[in-house]
Amino acid sequence: MLYEMIDTAGIEPVECPIRRDLARLAAELDTRFLRAGTVLADAIALVDRIIAGLDTVVEALGEERAGAAARDLAAIAARITALPTELGERSTEVRTIAAIAAVLRQQVLDMHRSLRVLGIYGMNIKIAASGEAQFVGFVDGMNGKLASGEALLSGLIATLKELEAGLSRVQQVDRLLAAECAKAVPAVPERLAADAARLDDHLRGVASLAHRVAAIARSIQAKVGVVLGALQVGDSTRQRLEHVVSSLHIVESHGCGAGAAAYVDRLLAAQLDAIVASFERETRALVGSLVALVPDAHALLELIGEQAGDDGRGFLSRLDDSVSEMDRIIFQLQSAQHQAQRMTTLVATTVSDLTHRVGSLRRIRTDVQDIATNTRLLCRRHGAVGRAVAVVAQEVDAYARDLGTTTDQVARTIGRLADAEGTLSLRGAGTCDIGEMLGGALGVIRQACHRTEQVVRAGGDEAARLVEVVRTTASELAAELALSDTMAALAAALTARAGEDAALTAADESSLREVLPAIARLYTMAGERQIHASYQLPGMDAVLAAPVADDEDDGLF
The answer to whether the beta carbons of residues 502 and 262 sit under 8 Å apart is yes
Structural domain spans, the chain: 68-184+327-428
Residue 327, CB half-sphere, CA atoms under 13 Å: how many? Answer: 7
Assess contact for 125 and 135: CB atoms under 8 A: yes
Coil vs helix vs strand at 552: coil
Task: Check residue 477 and give its pLDDT.
Answer: 76
What's the one-letter identity of residue 4?
E
Measure the CA angle with vertex 546, ends 270 and 272; round to 5°.
15
Rounded Cα distance, 354 and 97, in Å: 15
> Counting beta carbons within 10 angstroms of the beta carbon of residue 367, is it exposed (0 to 12), middle (13 to 18) or buried (19 or more)?
buried
Cis ω before 547 (30° cut-off from 0)? no
- Residue ranges in the chain modelled with pLDDT below 70: 1-15, 307-314, 422-433, 544-557
Q: Tell me what pLDDT residue 53 has.
A: 80
Q: What is the DSSP string of 449-518?
A: HHHHHHIIIIIHHHHHHHHHHHHHHHHHHHHHT--HHHHHHHHHHHHHHH-S--PPPHHHHHHHHHHHHH
- Look at residue 497 in the predicted model and tell me its pLDDT: 93
Q: How far apart are CA 461 and CA 305, in angstroms?
A: 11
Cβ within 8 Å of residue 404, ≥6 positions away: 365, 369
Closest CA to 413 of 355, 374, 363: 355
Distance CA 243, CA 272 (A): 10
CA distance linking residue 390 with residue 388, whole number of Å: 5
Contacts of 546 (CB under 8 A, 6+ apart): 4, 521, 523, 524, 554
For the whole model, what pTM was predicted? 0.57
Distance CA 486, CA 520 (A): 25
Q: What one-letter code names the amino acid at 260?
A: A
Closest CA to 149 of 396, 357, 373: 357
Closest by Cα among 414, 320, 312 to 361: 414
Q: Determine the length of the chain.
A: 557
Residue-level pLDDT at 452: 74
Under 8 Å between Cβ of 311 and 61: no
Contact 195, 322 (CB under 8 A): yes
Q: What is residue 11's predicted lDDT score, i.e. its pLDDT?
A: 39
Q: What is the pLDDT of residue 512?
A: 93
Q: Would you say 519 and 247 are in contact if contact means Cβ atoms under 8 Å apart?
A: yes
